[in-house]
Amino acid sequence: MAEILLTTINTRYAHASLGLRCLHANLGALARRAAIVEFVSGARTETMLERLLAERPRVVAIGVYIWNVLEATRLVAQMRRVAPQVRIVLGGPEVSHETDEQRICSLADHVVTGPGEASFARLAAQLLDGSPPCARVIAGKECDPATLELPYPLYSDRDIAQRHLFVEASRGCPFRCEFCLSALDRGARPFPLERVLEQLRALHARGARRFRFVDRTFNLKTGTSLAILEFFQGCLRAAPHDPVFAHFELIPDRLPAPLRSAIASFAPGTIQLEIGIQTWNPQVQALISRRQDNDAAEENLRWLRTSTGAHLHVDLIAGLPGEDLASFGAGFDRLVAIAPQEIQLGILKRLRGAPIARHTESHGLRFNPDPPYNVLATDAIAFEDMQRIARFSRYWEIFANSGRFPRALALLLGDAPFARFMQFCDWVWTNSDATHAFALRRQRELLAGWLGEQPGIADELSGVAPRVRRPASSATPPRQARHLA
C-alpha cells in the first residue's frame, strides 16, 4: 500500500516516465510512502482506476500531457465519483497553462504548474498532515539541477530489460522557437556532469543498453557532449559484442570539429540523432523567433549522412505561420536531397502556453479545439490542403521511413519528391479511403498500382525487402521532464 501514488498514461510501454521518477526521487522522507504506477494509452479507464484504488492512496498525482489529457480527464472524473476522499493533484505541461479553461483542472484538488519536484514534495507533506494550502493552483518552483536528487536508481530491472531509459544532462533551452514550450525557459541549466556520468555507469552496470536523452540541445556545450559520447564509446570498446544505443537531440547548425570526430567514431546502429529543421524558410524562421543558419545546417546534415553511421531523424513542421504549400514542399525537397534515414513530418500544434498563439489572428491559424490541437488551416494553407499534408505524413511513414521500398521510392519520387509523393498520396487516399492498417501485401499492391510496369520496379515489388530495424520513434519523448509527469 502507498499513501502517495504517482501516475501517468504513457503513449507506449517502451516510454517509462522520467517525470514520475524525478518526483519520487525528490520526495525526501515521504519517498518511502510513495509508489509509481504507469499505464499505457488505450487502457480501460475503470481498470486504471481499480488498479490505483487498490493501493488505498490518500494522494494521487497525475502527469498530464497533450497525448493523455482526454484519458486522464476520464480517469479523474471517475475517481472523483467513487473515491471523493482521495486528494487529486495534477501537473505536467498540459495543465501548466490555461488552467481555468480545462475540465480536468476543475475536477482536481490542486494543480502544480511548471517544475514539480520541490513544490509537489511540499504539497504532498501538507496533504498528508491534513493541512492543505488554500490555493488550488500552485506555481512550481524552478530548482537548480545541482540540488535535485537524480531519479535513475528508480528504474527497475524490468525497465532496464524492456524499455528505453530517458535521461537528461541539462534542462531548458536557450532558444525561443515559438511553437515549443521551451520558448518559455530561461536558458539551459546543466546537471553536474560527473553525477550524470556516475549514474550512467551505474545503469550500464545493471544492464541498461538503451538510453534516450531528453535534452533539448544536447550539443549546446561541446565539452559535456564529448564526455557523454566518450562514456558510450568506452562501453562499446569494453564490450564490442554487447552494443549500447543512445539517442540525442541536436541543434542542426552547430557541429564543431571535435564533436564531428566523436560522432564519426560510432558504428552504425549505435546512435540516433534527432535534428529539428522545422522550416527552411528564413522569413518564417524570423516570424517564429527561430535562429538557424540554414547553410550550416544543410552542410552538417550532409556530412552526418555521408561520413558517419548515425541514424538521422529530421523534423519538419507543416502549418507554421507564413508558410504556404509551395514553401513547405520546397523545404521537403531540400531535405529529401540530403537523404536522412527518417523525415518526420509534423503538423503544427498549439501547445498550451506556447507563444505561437500570438499569430492566430494575424495569420489565420485555425486550431483543432481538442487535443492534439493541430492546426486545421492557415491563411496560407487551406483546410483541404492541410488534410492532404496529414495524409502525406502518414503515408511517408509507411512507404518511406519504414525502409521497405528503397528502389521503388526512388523511382516514385524522381526529381520532384514533394509533388510526386503528394500525387501518390492523393491516389492512395482515393483508392483506399484509409491511412492506417495497410498490410504489407496491400502496400505492395498500392505501389504496383501507381508505378505500373515502369522499368526497374518489377524486382522491387516481387520481393519486398524486410522491414529495416530502426530505433523506436522519437516523436513523443517527454519534453518537459521537470514537470509533474
Domain boundaries, the chain: 4-143, 149-381, 383-462
Three-state SS sequence of 411-458: HHHCCCHHHHHHHHHHHHHHHHCCCCCCCHHHHHHHHHHHHCCCCCCH
Kind plus residue range of the DSSP H or E element containing 61: strand 59-63
Q: Where would I find the beta strands (DSSP E) of 65-209?
A: 87-91, 110-113, 137-139, 165-167, 170-171, 189-190
CA 16 – CA 154 distance, rounded (Å): 11
pLDDT tens per residue across span 414-464: 999 999 999 999 999 999 999 988 999 999 999 988 988 455 555 555 544
Amino acid type, 429: W
CA 251 – CA 274 distance, rounded (Å): 9
Residue in this structure with the C-alpha cell 564490442, named with its chain if needed:
240
Mean pLDDT of 373-386: 98
Residue 357 per-residue DSSP state: G
Q: Which band of pLDDT confidence, cut at 50, 70 and 90, is reported for residue 336?
A: very high
Would you state the pLDDT for residue 458?
54
How many residues would you count in the chain?
485
Using alpha carbons, list the distances in angstroms from residue 400 to 275, 340, 439, 475: 18, 11, 15, 16
pLDDT tens per residue across span 255-269: 999 999 999 999 999
Pick the closest to residue 345 from 377, 318, 305 (CA basis).
318
CA 245 – CA 228 distance, rounded (Å): 13
Q: Above 90 in pLDDT, residue 482? A: no
Count of beta carbons in the 10 Å neighbourhood of residue 383: 12
Mean pLDDT of 378-392: 98
Instruction: Give SS3 for 144.
Output: coil
CA 125 – CA 133 distance, rounded (Å): 11
Which CATH architecture best describes the domain 4-143?
Answer: 3-Layer(aba) Sandwich (3.40)
Would you state the pLDDT for residue 459?
56
Mean pLDDT of 380-395: 98
Any residues with CB less than 8 A from the CB of 210 and at least 6 apart, and which? 163, 164, 165, 244, 245
Would you state the pLDDT for residue 168?
97
Mean pLDDT of 171-178: 94
Helical H segments across 175-251, by residue range = 193-205, 222-238
pLDDT tens per residue across span 293-330: 999 999 999 999 999 999 999 999 999 999 999 999 99
- Cα three-residue angle 76-31-156, rounded to 5 degrees: 85
Mean pLDDT of the chain: 93
Question: What order of strands is seen across the sheet that includes strand 311-318?
Answer: 165-167, 210-213, 245-250, 271-278, 311-318, 342-347
Q: What percent of the chain has pLDDT over 70?
A: 93
CATH of 149-381, one of 3.30.70.600, 3.10.20.440, 3.80.30.20, 3.90.1300.10: 3.80.30.20
Contact 74, 44 (CB under 8 A): no
Mean pLDDT of 218-246: 95
Mean pLDDT of 258-282: 97
Q: Is the peptide bond before 471 cis (omega within 30 degrees of 0)?
A: no
Would you state the pLDDT for residue 264?
97
- Threshold 0.95, pTM exceeds: no
